[in-house]
Amino acid sequence: IPEGVDVKAEIRRLCKEKNALIMAHYYTEGVIQELADFVGDSLALAQKAASTNADIIVMCGVHFMGETNKILCPEKTILVPDLNASCSLAESCPADEFEKFVKAHPHHTVISYVNTTAATKALTDIVVTSSNAKQIVESLPKEAPIIFGPDKNLGHYISEQTGRKMLLWDGACQVHEKFSAVKIQQLKSKYPAAKVLVHPECPPAIISLADKVGSTAALLKYSVTDSAQEFIVVTESGILVEMQRLAPNKTFIPAPAEDSDNTCNECEYMKLVTLNKLYNCLKYEWPAIEVEPEMGKKAVKSIHRMLEISK
């Protein structure tokens, strides 16, 4: 970036010139969330992509989020500032292995978390996010056998919430898997009035400590509307930016990872999105996400079913 250039102003100017929309997930750096036109959870980001009339979407988040946008809007240019921004859940579920699993269990409805590749979505009947997974599972006939992938923790939680037995894929989020019940208990002793907010990608032992379990958007809403003044936040720490912005007088305490020295828990992939990469990808319209059209046509059905049920 040339010296003396006001990167933020340049990004806004380029957006206007190119009719581009910048979307960001709550786990990205604060500076990215502040600059974005739209910040949301996985469901809101998909809904926004499906409804925008922008010509370009810059998806500040991870690769599967850009892919979801491209599947929904194949005619648009979808940019992701760093294509290396992967996701341990998407990686845990390669399409060829998932296909074998699906074929070994015929007559099952295949539900996949949005944190999957386009190829895995193409094998899926209905996509879900943590905002709507319970609602979507409950929308299926009581006796319908279900495969749920790839997040075993979300699957286990939804299974408990709905009383539905489901065949679970053995995947997990590397960020949410690393929280420590012992460290959360220590924080609870230190802040006895604090409410504990937990994302359902966490293992059952962590979820059992929660006052509120929910997607990033649900946790945010709870932190703003609940009367508590202190919250222990058991999800990726980027969300504290929006929590603190919406409730500046409340105290938000990030839960650390099990193996860390009491520092907050971050998703290394989300943090690959930087201001300079955002500027460059908007300027050069690169790197763009491509999805093979035939695969996109198969995958889009499972996302449309989700959007239909979550209207």
> Residues annotated in the binding site, as ranges?
25, 42, 87, 113-115, 130, 173, 199-201, 216, 267
Phi-psi region of 268 (alpha: psi -120 to 50; beta: other; left: phi over 0): alpha
Please answer whether residues 300 and 72 qualify as being in contact, where contact means their C-beta atoms are separated by less than 8 angstroms: yes
Q: Which runs of consecutive H residues, i.e. helices, occur in the chain?
A: 7-18, 30-35, 42-51, 63-72, 88-91, 95-104, 118-121, 133-138, 152-162, 181-190, 204-207, 216-225, 239-246, 275-284, 293-309
Residues in contact with ligand SF4, shown as a per-residue x/- string from 150 to 179 under the rule CB under 6 A: -----------------------xxx----
HSE of 37, CA atoms in CB hemisphere, 13 A: 20
Number of residues that bind ligand SF4 (CB under 6 A): 14
Nearer to ligand 13P, 52 or 129 (CB): 129
Q: Is 130 in the site for ligand 13P (CB under 6 A)?
A: yes
Candidate ranges 66-74, 118-126, 127-135, 289-297; the one touching ligand 13P (CB under 6 A):
127-135
**Nearest by Cα to 114 from 53, 175, 162, 47:** 47
Distances in Å between the Cα of 21 and the Cα atoms of 10, 48, 52, 53, 91 are: 14, 10, 8, 9, 27
For ligand 13P, the closer CB: 14 or 80 = 80
- Say whether residue 88 binds ligand SF4 (CB under 6 A): yes
The CB-of-130 to ligand 13P minimum distance in angstroms stands at 4
130 counts as binding ligand SF4 under rule CB under 6 A: no
**180 contacts ligand 13P (rule: CB under 6 A):** no
DSSP state of 270: G
Q: Choose from ligand 13P, ligand SF4, none: what does 111 bind? Cβ within 5-8 Å by kind.
A: none
Residue 85 exposure: Cα atoms within 13 Å on the Cβ side? 29
Give residues with Cβ within 8 angstroms of 174, minimum separation 6. Answer: 88, 267
* Binding-site residues from annotation for iminosuccinate: 25, 42, 113-115, 130, 199-201, 216
Q: Min. distance of Cβ 230 from ligand SF4 in angstroms?
A: 24
Task: Residue 132: name its binding partner from ligand SF4, ligand 13P, none (Cβ under 5 to 8 Å by kind).
Answer: none
Q: Where in 30-69 is the site for ligand 13P (CB under 6 A)?
A: 41-42
* Residue 169 and residue 93 in contact, taking contact as beta carbons nearer than 8 Å: yes
Pick what 174 binds: ligand 13P, ligand SF4, none; C-beta below 5 to 8 Å, kind-dependent: ligand SF4
Residue 185: phi and psi, rounded to 5, are: -60, -40
Q: What is the DSSP letter of 115?
A: S
* Residues at the site binding ligand 13P, with contacts judged by CB under 6 A: 41-42, 115, 129-131, 173, 201, 215-216
* Residues at the site binding ligand SF4, with contacts judged by CB under 6 A: 27, 62, 87-89, 115, 173-175, 201, 236, 267, 269-270
